[in-house]
Amino acid sequence: MKIGILTSGGDTPGMNAVIRAAYIKCKLLGHELIGFKNGWKGLLENITVDITDQILDQIDLGGTILGSGRTNPLKIDNGLELIKETINNNGIECVVAIGGEDTLGVANKLTNEGFPMIGVPKTIDNDLAATDYTFGFNTAITIATEAMDRLSTTAKSHDRVIVVEVMGRHAGWMTLHSGIATGAHVILIPEYQISFEQMSNLIKKRYSEGNTWGIIAVSEGYGFEDTENVDAETDEFGHVRLEKLEIGKQIAERLTKTLNIPTRAITLGHVQRGGSPTTFDRVLSTQLGLKAIELSNDKKFGMMPALKGTKIQSVALSDAVSKLKIVDEESWQVARDIMGI
Ligand code: F6P
């Protein structure tokens, strides 16, 4: 059996570990694994990548050896025909798409059109439904946690408030986890509103108690009720480039004006996606890669492996993309308790 594989959307630590595991399982089952370059673009334009034994030593390699991109084949007039041609010309019987909500949304639509698709859930944002965690999330929050720990010592030394902008689009999982892990004094996530006044009161209270420094963790997708919308460029899936809105910088400037305290704003940005995956992500990626080939072998198209508790199960792609997994109230309550609100 010839199995195609691609990585699409934002790169995520653990992608190579998934490819490696898929390669190992293909060898065990006597299948051939063919890589496609730069996500859906490779499948549309028939650009393949040889996956060789070299991948066996690359479980720790960040990024993706296949390259990634945000091409949306459903936005291209004859996109489906082009994909069909590539699949037929290469004699491919199944395509494994490693991606987040956009990629798996496409994979789900292709499944409905009769294409043999298997998904693998990835995203540092952890916002995919039907799986407890996505690979890459653990690495991203580990990086954000280390950054906030470091920022705390410099904030303390200089009597400053540092606003740390964390990735995650419209799901606050990364900000929540790294904020809790570092004891951030304010945690702002898109799912729940804290007003500017409430936030500055928390900082004011700290200062009145003699703690003349602070860390505010804010999601890139956060906005106060009165935050103005700014036009920013969108990708092929219609997502705004949120770092362009600079919510961290806006908060820092407003806080300086209101409380007359020194502030700095830091955007963690793509640092959160770079480099080696953590142990947790390496193991999860390996489990997902192995299972994806098992599902391909069994022709369970339209499915994806998912982490449920401590076990890998298979779920329908349609369930994974039916809604965004946003921060639930119980998880948010932890942050509220820590902040004392
Ligand atoms: O979805 C992953 C993610 O890293 C988001 O957290 C972020 O908003 C977005 O991708 C950034 O996209 P790009 O890599 O296109 O700048």
- Average pLDDT of span 285-312: 98
Q: Among 22-26, 182-186, 237-241, whose mean pLDDT is lowest?
A: 237-241
CA of 20 to the centre of ligand 1 (A): 24
Ranges in the chain annotated CATH 3.40.50.450: 2-136+277-320
Q: How large is the average pLDDT for residues 86-91?
A: 97
pLDDT at 232: 76
* pLDDT mean over 247-259: 97
Query: Is the distance from the beta carbon of residue 123 to the nearest atom of ligand 1 less than 6 Å?
Result: yes
Distances (CA, A) of 254 to 72, 161, 197, 250: 38, 12, 11, 6
CATH of domain 139-274: 3.40.50.460
* 264-289 as b/e: b if 16+ CB within 10 A: bbbbbeeebbeebbbeebbbbbbbbb
% of the chain with per-residue pLDDT over 70: 100
Q: What is the pLDDT of residue 191?
A: 98
Average pLDDT on 43-55 reads 98
- In what side-by-side order are the strands of the sheet with 161-166? 186-188, 214-219, 161-166, 263-267
- Confirm if 255 and 263 have CB atoms less than 8 A apart: yes
Tokens of 11: 């790169």
Cβ(175) – ligand 1 distance below 6 Å: no
Task: Give me the percent of the chain exceeding a pLDDT of 90.
Answer: 94
Question: Given ligand 1 and candidates 12, 124, 220, which is best to mutate, with the most ligand atoms within 8 Å of its CB?
Answer: 124
Integer CA distances (angstroms), 234 to 105, 170, 220, 319, 326, in order: 18, 15, 15, 26, 21
Q: Is 163 left (phi over 0), alpha (psi -120 to 50) or beta?
A: beta
How confident is the model over 103-112, as a mean pLDDT? 97
The pLDDT, as a whole number, for residue 298 is 98
Ligand 1 neighbourhood includes 10 CB (under 6 angstroms): yes
Segments of the chain assigned to CATH 3.40.50.460: 139-274
| pLDDT at res. 229 | 74
pTM over 0.95: yes
Question: Which CATH number applies to 2-136+277-320: 3.40.50.450, 3.40.50.300, 3.30.300.30, 1.20.210.10?
Answer: 3.40.50.450
**How far, rounded to the nearest angstrom, does the alpha carbon of residue 34 sit from its chain's CA centroid?**
25
- Residues serving a catalytic function are 125
How would you classify the pairing of strands 303-308 and 311-316? Answer: antiparallel
Ligand 1 nearest atom to the CA of residue 243, by list position:
8
For residue 209, the model assigns a pLDDT of 97
As a whole number of angstroms, the distance between CA 94 and CA 320 comes to 19
Tell me the one-letter amino acid at 47. Answer: I
Q: Write the pLDDT tens digit of every residue in 150-173.
A: 999 999 999 999 999 999 999 999
Distance 68 CA to ligand 1 centre (A): 12
13 in ligand 1 pocket by Cβ < 6 Å? no
- pLDDT tens by residue, 201-249: 999 999 999 999 999 999 999 999 888 777 778 889 988 888 888 999 9
209 exposed, middle or buried (CB, 10 Å; 0-12, 13-18, 19+)?
A: exposed
DSSP states of 25-84 as a string? HHHHHT-EEEEETTTHHHHHHT-EE---GGGGG-TT--S-TT------GGGSTTHHHHHH
Residue 125: what pLDDT? 98
Any atom of ligand 1 within 6 Å of the Cβ of 168: yes
Pocket test for ligand 1, best of 134, 166, 167, 170 (most atoms within 8 A of CB): 167
